Structure 1
């Protein structure tokens, strides 16, 4: 769990409570980018339940098994397409940085697709960029 007063891991500079914490507590993310940021923060916090809940039912796996040896440390958003409050589809390209055992470091660059249904954004799928 992340302290409400700590800086949010997604990189906005806001506190967790003012940023992704509100989405983790049930408020819908208004844009695809904010949903993506909240999912990154869920990876950083080990919140598998939120990852599943924010995944579109048509592509959602039955479970998510996070690697506890990886620490997600930084998120860089490179660009978005659509994904606004009045759109039904959107895309976000980003790089997520991690640290692993023995000081190993790495990144995951992805182009993700999102869909909004009934006022809620969902992660649909992603491809390595």
Structure 2
């Protein structure tokens, strides 16, 4: 992926409605986790979507809240991610938030639609994915 020119997998647009580059969007979090954590739950959720697209298990595990973190992340072989729609993002407390989204992908020619309401927590200035409820 040419980060400077490639559109970010999460589909975020800038103030003018133009697609953001990977480097200006999720790349800064995925590629620099130690120095630049996602600033809010929506940015973390978007960067985790990009991590699924790019099969970055390291980032997914690092951003999973420790009590719920699985020992590993498996990716569907041949999955082709088609897009992300953020439906809502809201604070649910001082250090908690919820993001509702729909992610679409294809596996073996079959369309898959993942509709989830995800919960996030902030600890020590970093946001973490806690869990989600499928809708």
TM-score normalised by structure 2 residue count: 0.88
1:78 aligns with 2:84: no
For the residues of structure 2 that align with 1:23 and 1:87, how far apart are their CA atoms?
22
2:69 to 60, 74, 79: 60
* Alignment correspondent of 1:122: 128
Report the secondary structure of 1:40's partner residue: helix
64-73 vs 26-35, which moves further: 64-73
Alignment partner, residue 90 of structure 1: 97
Question: Which one of the candidate residues 99, 105, 109 is aligned to 2:111?
Answer: 105
Q: Which moved more, 1:90-99 or 1:67-76?
A: 67-76
Instruction: Note the residue ranges of structure 1 that are not aligned, 5 or more in a row.
Output: none
Distance in 2 (alpha carbons) for counterparts of 1:73 and 1:3: 19
- 1:15 aligns to what? 21
| Offset of residue 32 of structure 1 | 0.0
Q: TM-score, normalised by structure 1?
A: 0.92
Gaps of 5+ in 2: 13-18
Matched pairs, number: 125
Q: Could you tell me which residue of structure 1 aligns to residue 15 of structure 2? A: none
